[in-house]
Amino acid sequence: MSGNKTEQRKEEVGDEVEDKFEGKIGLFPLIVLGLSSLTGAGIYSLLGPAAEIAGQSMIMSLFIGIILAFFIAGLYSELIAVNPESGGSFVFVEKAFGRKALYMGWTTWLANMSYAALVSHTAAYFITSLFGIHTGYSILIAIGFTILMAGANILGSKFLSQIQIPLTFALIFSLVVGSIYLFLNPNPSFSWNINSFMPNTLIPTFIAAAIMFNIFIGFEDVCAISEETKEPVKNIPRAYLIMLIIATIMYSMVIFSLLISTSMEAIVGGEIPFLEAVESNQIIFIIVFFGSIFSLIATSGVALMTSSRNVLALSRKDFIDRRYSKIDPRTRTPIKAILLSTIVTILILISGQIEFYASISALTYMIDKIAMGVAIFRFRKTFDYPKKAFKIPGHPISTIIAIGTTFLLIISLGVDTLLVSIFWLLIGLILYLFFSSKRRVYGTIFLVSAFLFTLSNIILGLIILFIGFIYYLLTIADRHSIKFVLAGIKVFFIITVGIFVWAIKNIGILNAFDSNFILIFDKIILNLIIFFCIISLGTVLFDIIPLKEWVYYFIRKKDKKNVAIMVGPAQIIELEQKKLKTIHIINDFLSLIQIIASAYFGILATLIALDVFSIQIIISEMATELIFIIILIISSLTLLASGSFKLYITHESKRIGV
Is position 459 within any domain?
yes
Residues 240 and 360 placed together within one structural domain of the fold: yes
Q: Are residues 408 and 450 in the same domain?
A: no
Q: Is 539 exposed, middle or buried (0-12, 13-18, 19+ CB in 10 A)?
A: buried
Residue 611 forms part of a structural domain: yes
Round to whole Å and give the CA distance between 457 and 630: 12
Q: How many whole angstroms separate alpha carbon 458 and alpha carbon 130? A: 34
Report the pLDDT value the prediction gives residue 85, as an integer from 0 to 100.
78
pLDDT > 90? residue 147:
yes
Q: Does 74 or 422 have the greater pLDDT score?
A: 74
Average pLDDT over residues 633-654: 81
Higher per-residue pLDDT: 174 or 15: 174
Calpha distance 542→550 (Å, rounded): 9
- pLDDT band at residue 91 using 50, 70 and 90 as cut-offs: confident
**What was the pLDDT predicted at 564?**
47
Tell me, yes or no, whether 585 lies in a domain: yes
Residues 439 and 501 in one domain: no
Say how far apart CA 654 and CA 484 lie, in whole Å: 22
Q: Which of 101-110, 182-191, 245-254, 528-537 has the lowest mean pLDDT?
A: 101-110
What DSSP element (H or E) covers 42? helix 42-45
Same-domain check for residues 327 and 447: no
The pLDDT value recorded for residue 102 is 66
The answer on 420 and 446 residing in a single domain is no
- Whether residue 457 is found in the same domain as residue 525: no
Same structural domain, 542 and 623:
yes
Q: What is the pLDDT of residue 177?
A: 92
The number of angstroms, rounded, from the C-alpha of 400 to the middle of its chain's C-alpha atoms is: 32
- Count how many domains the chain has: 3
439 and 500 co-located in one domain: no
pLDDT digits (tens, 9 = 90+) for 482-518: 667 777 778 888 888 888 888 887 877 777 666 677 7
What CATH number does residue 330 fall under? 1.20.1740.10
Q: What is the DSSP letter of 513?
A: S
H-type helices in 262-334, by residue range? 264-269, 273-277, 282-316
More confident residue, 260 or 320: 260
Specify whether 120 is located in the same domain as 46: yes
Could you tell me which residues come within 8 angstroms of residue 346 by beta carbon, excluding any fewer than 6 positions away?
Answer: 143, 146, 147
Residue 196 and residue 232 share a domain: yes
Mean pLDDT of the chain: 76
- Domain check: are 424 and 439 in the same one? no
**With left for phi above 0 and alpha for psi between -120 and 50, is residue 224 left, alpha or beta?**
alpha
**Which of 486, 441, 426 shows the shortest CA–CA distance to 336?**
441
pLDDT category at 180 given cuts 50, 70, 90 is very high
Structural domain contains residue 354: yes
pLDDT at 463: 63
Region 107-113: mean pLDDT is 80
83-87, 276-280, 518-522 — most confident range: 276-280
> Both 92 and 53 in a single domain?
yes
Higher model confidence: residue 412 or residue 86?
Answer: 86
Q: Which has more pLDDT, 179 or 15?
A: 179
Where residue 8 falls among pLDDT bands split at 50, 70, 90?
very low
**Cα angle: 183, vertex 189, 194; to 5 degrees:** 70
212-268 tens-digit pLDDT: 776 776 666 777 778 778 888 888 888 888 988 988 888 888 888 888 888 888 877
> Measured between alpha carbons, how far is 221 from 40 in angstroms, rounded to an integer?
12
Residue 87, Ramachandran bin (φ over 0: left; ψ between -120 and 50: alpha; else beta): left
- Split at pLDDT 50, 70, 90, the class of 437 is low
pLDDT band at 7, cuts 50/70/90?
very low
Within-domain flag for 8: no
The pLDDT assigned to 342 comes to 92
- Please compute the mean of the pLDDT values over residues 62-90 and round it to a whole number: 82
| Per-residue confidence band for 3, with pLDDT thresholds at 50, 70 and 90 | very low
Q: Which of 197-201, 234-238, 407-411, 502-506 has the lowest mean pLDDT?
A: 197-201
Is 10 part of a structural domain of the chain?
Answer: no
Structure confidence by residue, pLDDT tens digits, 530-569: 888 888 888 887 777 776 666 666 656 555 555 444 444 5
Within 508-546, where are the H helices? 515-520, 526-544
Contact status, residue 646 vs residue 590, Cβ threshold 8 Å: yes
pLDDT at 17: 39
* pLDDT tens per residue, range 325-374: 888 888 788 888 899 899 888 888 877 666 566 666 767 777 888 888 88
Q: Would you say residue 598 lies in a domain? A: yes
Whether pLDDT at 25 is above 60: yes
Q: Which domain holds residue 447?
A: 435-467
